């Protein structure tokens, strides 16, 4: 099932933004610091070839989070891939994320981007939200007030809308290959969507070699996946669903709980 943009909380051109919101970048560099930057699979390879690190953020879900005929399920299922998880079934979403902590390695001292013409798609889209179910809220962004007091109306920006649609499409196209990439590396522990993310941090050399191998053999044998959860009620629910849990603490990944 493909998502129907008219069913999402979007305005003109499928962008989830108030029609009166305007924006112009003032070059403060706030969006280039203290974050992970989501990349497409091709962008991750380019990033790694520059010698910069890429983290792997993993979350899983099943049909219990949304009705299977809902736009929310269709959107999230489209950017994920099915995997084996104990005797249950899961869908895993893989986010390849450039490490911009404390700041992007491409940020120059003058505040400009050294790879501006080749910058990732998400940088071109910022500050717009890519998900049609997350409305852009200026107060939630790091951009200073003057950014929102000038510039074009985001809701009517056709070029921006095309980039958002391209990003969503690439998410769908990359989904299975990114899961296969993780399985080839033995990275098969994920957080539960909405509860937490599991962050794996392979070395640049290891991840780049795996990406290059996956281009030749993109479909390794399916491996069983586990869920990392620390909330007792959630663990009980997952156990009742016959899903496999990661019980032991591990130095192999970081568990990042989501704010509630």
Cβ atoms of residues 253 and 189 within 8 Å: yes
pLDDT of 73 reads 95
Domain boundaries, given as residue ranges, for the chain: 5-257
Tokens 């007091």 correspond to 149
pLDDT of 9 reads 46
Give this prediction's pTM: 0.91
Using omega within 30 degrees of 0 as the cis cutoff, is the peptide bond preceding 169 cis? no
Specify the range with the lowest mean pLDDT, choosing from 51-55, 154-158, 185-189, 256-260: 256-260
Residue ranges of E strands in the chain: 22-23, 33-39, 54-61, 81-85, 88-103, 152-153, 189-192, 196-200, 226-228, 254-257
């Amino acid at each position: 099932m493909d998502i129907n943009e008219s069913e999402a909380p979007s305005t003109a051109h499928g962008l989830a933004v108030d029609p009166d919101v305007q924006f112009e970048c003032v070059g403060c560099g706030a969006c280039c610091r203290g974050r992970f930057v989501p990349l497409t699979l091709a962008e991750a390879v380019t990033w790694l070839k520059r010698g910069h690190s890429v983290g792997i953020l993993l979350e899983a879900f099943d049909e219990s989070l949304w009705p299977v005929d809902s736009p929310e399920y269709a959107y999230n299922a489209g950017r994920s891939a099915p995997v084996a998880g104990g005797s249950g079934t899961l869908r895993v979403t893989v986010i390849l994320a450039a490490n911009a902590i404390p700041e992007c390695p491409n940020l120059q001292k003058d505040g400009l981007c050294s790879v501006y013409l080749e910058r990732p798609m998400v940088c071109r889209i910022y500050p717009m939200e890519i998900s049609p179910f997350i409305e852009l809220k200026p107060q939630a962004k790091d951009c200073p007030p003057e950014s929102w007091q000038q510039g074009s109306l985001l809701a009517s920006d056709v070029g921006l809308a095309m980039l958002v649609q391209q990003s969503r499409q690439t998410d769908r196209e990359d989904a299975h290959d990114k899961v296969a990439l993780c399985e080839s590396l033995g990275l098969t522990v994920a957080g539960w969507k909405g509860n937490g993310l599991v962050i794996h941090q392979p070395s640049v050399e290891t991840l780049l070699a795996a990406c290059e191998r996956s281009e030749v053999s993109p479909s390794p044998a399916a491996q069983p996946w586990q869920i990392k959860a620390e909330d007792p009620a959630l663990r009980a629910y997952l156990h009742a669903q016959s899903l496999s849990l990661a019980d032991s603490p591990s130095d192999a990944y970081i568990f990042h709980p989501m704010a509630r």
